[in-house]
Amino acid sequence: MSTVKPLLAGALICCLGASVFAAPPTKEEIAKAIEQLDGDNFAQRKKAEVFLRAAGKAGEPALKAARVGASLEMTRRVDEILSDFKWGIYPDTPKKILEIIGRYRGADANVKRNVFGELARLQGPGYFVLIKFASAEETPELRAEVVDFLASGAERSAAVLLAAGEDEVVEDLLELCMATEREQAGRNFAAFLLLKRRLDEQIPAYVAKAKTDKKAGALLSLLYKGKGDLAAARAAAEKADRHELAEALLVEQGDWKELVKRVGTQARPLTEEEALGYEMAYRRLAGEDAEVDKVVARLQKLAGQENGNVGLAAKALFLNDRAPAGLALLKDKKNYLAAFEVMCAQLQYRAALDFVKDIKADDLEPALALELRRAQVLHHLGEKEQALKHLARIADEWKEGENIESYRDLVKAELRLGLKEQALSHAAHVLTPPHNDDRAGRLLALLFPDRGETAEVWWKFFRKKHPEDKALASLQRVRDVLENRADKEAFAALLDEAERAAAGLPLAERSPWVLALAETALRGGRADRGQNLLEKAVLLADGSASLLRLGDVLAGKKDWAAAADRYRHAWEQDRTQPLPLYLCGWALVQAGKADEG
């Protein structure tokens, strides 16, 4: 079918739907029209076709049923009507979606892929059509891509659609996802039925399906679990060979004796240390203390072997009330950093410091990581001079190494201790050639919490404006702007210059710059300038972040109606985030529109 035909057909049935029905058609009226569709009277057949097209979704199930055993001529007539329905073209399909459907049907694969996101942004009606595409698409690869696209965001989409009252679309979406191999799909569908109090309605159908379909049996187990019938849920899981689900239900039932019997037969892959950890837990909870001691001995022996995982073995001991044995294992196997961390968590600070006082590990990086933790503890205990000496030595040694990621840990530790100037200086080392600026983002996010993206914009600006600067000088310039240390005139001039620089960037890069400059102006006491920049950012990208921040600015000015408008638009841009919707309601209440709010 051409691109034009679905558009014309869609427009036609929209008009017909408005003119033919004052109320939804009844089952009897639909049945009569289908009967007339197979008649000899041409005028009557055309009238019936018009009626059934206008009936839309209400008549679709009956039309599909009418194909069974029908004549070739009747099948052809039914298929002509269903050919539009299968793509989501109904009397009530919005004009914008009709245009997208028409464009999709006449496009190549790459254009079709772009349509997925376009429809998703339209929420309920868009998802309804995407679900239609999942069965209507003739290319197997693209059909699989539609399903995968829907399944990848199912939880987020379902929440938004439920809030909008699109229950039927949610049910279709979650049922479609169950055709994939995604572990969460069955749980999502069971949760939906539980939410809608429809578990009892669906369970009989899945009892029948489970007799021949193990996938249906697994879902049946989840439905019983949602109902609270754990025994039936476990029986269904066992019959479906979903032993990991059965084991989880045994845990929920607290049937530790049965779980002990199943030791060594767990369905999920486990390391030897993990398997012993579970056995220890089950025997402990079953009250088999003597057997627990034997498992502890086996675990300790395993950890002592060449390929033993000391960390996992110690974790199993800690989780099973064997903390002294876990700590002793870490010490004995020279897992010094982990042992130090455990002792600190137990508030044994002095004992921990004494323990590591004379340790000299062969591997440089863990030794320095241990030194870093020792410095933090000393600072915490008030021995700041000694802590600073440790930090300085660590910095000197790490400067000679190549592991810049570890150096980042030093910066993080200094910031936690309030040593901002030292942290700034050491961060500059990471950003000095031969190291690259691509590390700037994560470091700036550390140095300027909650303002990392803004700091990154200013970092790029100053690196270009002052290419002769060393990294430390650039970082100090960023700090001065973000902490409002410059005088008012210099601050205003910097904003002007940075905005001009942003204007020369590609459109995709310009919006983050303008948003960052707006944030800088707002925090620097230039509210009007910040608002103006936010308005520009909205025009550039029409993004929810800019709209949300703009709403905050207007709310700060008590311009409640304008604030509510911006929050509403932010919600419309991204309905997966509930905050803008809540703030819109709050601003409406402040504006005196309590009922609407």
Q: What is the pLDDT of residues 278-310, one digit of tens each?
A: 999 999 999 999 999 999 999 999 998 888 899
Residue 3: predicted pLDDT: 43
pLDDT above 80 for 58:
yes
Q: What is the pLDDT of residue 2?
A: 41
pLDDT, position 401:
54
Residue 586: exposure state from Cβ atoms within 10 A (0-12, 13-18, ≥19)? middle
Phi, psi of 385 (to 5 degrees): -65, -45
Does position 593 have pLDDT exceeding 70, yes or no?
A: yes
Judge whether 219 and 189 are in contact, CB under 8 Å: yes
pLDDT beyond 50 at 13? no
Q: What is the 3-state secondary structure (H, E, C) of 210-274?
A: CCCCHHHHHHHHHHHHHHCCHHHHHHHHHHCCCHHHHHHHHHHHCCHHHHHHCCCCCCCCCCHHH
pLDDT in the model for residue 31:
92
pLDDT of residue 120: 85
Give the CA radius of gyration of the chain: 33
Tell me which of 320 and 12 has the higher pLDDT: 320
C-alpha span between 311 and 299 (Å, rounded): 12
pLDDT of residue 161: 84
- Angstrom CA distances, 498 to 190, 464, 501, 520, stand at 53, 11, 5, 11
Q: If DSSP codes are grouped into helix, strand and coil, which group holds residue 74?
A: helix
Residue 12 confidence (pLDDT) = 42
DSSP 26: P
Residue environment code for 451-474, b if the CB has 16+ CB neighbours within 10 A, otherwise e: bbbbbbbbbbbbbeeeeeeebbeb
Percent of the chain past pLDDT 70, that is, above it, reads 92
Compute the distance between CA of residue 404 and CA of residue 426 in angstroms, rounded to an integer.
11
Q: What is the pLDDT of residue 236?
A: 96
Residue 218 has a pLDDT of: 94
Give the dihedral sign, CA 123/124/130/133: negative
193 or 13: which carries more pLDDT confidence? 193
